[in-house]
Amino acid sequence: MLEVTELTKYFSSGLIRKQYQRAVDGVSFTIKNGETLGLVGESGCGKTTVGRLILRLTKPTDGTVLFDGIDLFALNRRELLAIRPRIQMIFQDPDSSLNPRMKIGTSIAEPLKLHGTIPEVKRKQRIKELIETVGLNPEHINRYPYQLSGGQNQRVVLARILALNPDLIIADEPTSSLDVSVQAQILNLMRDLQKEFNHTYLFISHDLDVVRIMADRIAVMYLGRLIEIGETRDIYDHAKHPYTQALLSAAAVDGKTEQNVLEGETSSPLDTPTGCRFNTRCPYREEICAIKEPELVEVGRDHYVACHIA
C-alpha cells in the first residue's frame, strides 16, 4: 500500500545560511495493505514530518513515496487532488481538526460536498450513518464542537475521514489529548473500523503501550533516522538497538515513554553527531560508532537494525 524510500526533509534553520535541520534523513519503510505500522521515538525525532511529507503538506528534500503504486511526489495539483481522499491524516493537535463555528453535521458534510461522491439528496442519510458508525447519536449533528467532549470530537474527526473512504490513515497521536478511559474507547473504535473497512494505518505515538496494542510492526526513529523496524512482538521481546531497549525499559517502569529516557540530552538535529547519531548517548559505544553511520541490516525475519554493535 505504501512504499517510502530514502525520504528526506532538511529545514533551513533561517539563522545561519547553509545550516540545515535534518528533520527526516533517508527514511525507508513499507506498509502492507490492511496493516498498522507504529512509528515511535522521542519528541522532535521527525515523526509528524514523515506524515506531512507523505501527504505532501511539507515539500520533500529527497526521496520517493509510492502509494498503491502511484508516485505521490510526481503528481501535479489536479492528480493530487484526485488521490487526496484516499490518504487521510488525524492531526496531533485536536483543536485544529474541527472548525469551531461549524455544526458537527456541516463538518461531516464538507468532505462529501468537496469530493462530490454522494448526490445531495443522499447526503443527510450518509451523515446519519457515519455518525452512528463512530458511536455518536443523530442529536449530535446539530451541535458545535464546544458542546461535545474531547472523545466525542475525536469521533467526529473519524466520521469526517470515513466519509471519504480512505485506504491509508496517518494517525498522529490520535488519543494523546484524551483521558485514559476515553483513549481506550477511541483506539477500540479505530481497530473496529480498520477491520470493517480494511484501512491501512501509519500510527504515530509516544505511548509504547498504545503502539503495542495497535501496531503489527513498529518503526523506531532517532534524530530523523529510522534505527529499528520489525514485528511488534520482535521489537518488544528482542529489541536490538540500544535506543529501542532504553525506550522500552523506561516504558516498563512508568508505563509511558519519557521524553528523555537516557543520560544526556538528545543532540539537536541542527548539529547531528557524526557517525551513528546515537553514539553520544550510547552505553555500548565503540570507536567506529563516531566515524561511520550504520545502515539498516536484517537481523531476523523482517527485523532490521541500524547499529554497529547489535
236 touching ligand ATP, by CB under 6 A? no
| Residues in contact with Mg ion, shown as a per-residue x/- string from 15 to 54 under the rule CB under 5 A | ---------------------------------x------
60 touching ligand ATP, by CB under 6 A? no
- Name the percent of the chain in helix, strand, coil, to the closest 5: 40, 25, 40
Closest CA to 3 of 52, 61, 56, 72: 72
- E strand or H helix at 129: helix 120-133
> CB-wise, 23 or 134, nearer to ligand ATP?
23
Give the count of residues interacting with ligand ATP (CB under 6 A): 13
> CB-wise, 33 or 43, nearer to ligand ATP?
43
- E strand or H helix at 300: strand 297-300
Q: In what order do the strands lie in the sheet with 2-12?
A: 20-31, 2-12, 62-67, 70-71
> CB-wise, 48 or 107, nearer to Mg ion?
48
Candidates 47, 140, 199, 277: give the one binding ligand ATP (CB under 6 A): 47
- E strand or H helix at 190: helix 180-197
Q: Taking each helix axis from N to C terminus, what angle separates 180-197 and 150-162, rounded to the nearest 10 degrees?
A: 10
Rounded to whole angstroms, the maximal C-alpha distance in the chain is: 69
Candidates 63, 111, 145, 269: give the one binding ligand ATP (CB under 6 A): 269
27 touching ligand ATP, by CB under 6 A? no
> CB-wise, 106 or 176, nearer to Mg ion?
176
Contact footprint for ligand ATP (CB under 6 A): 11, 21, 23, 43-49, 92, 206, 269
Contact footprint for Mg ion (CB under 5 A): 48
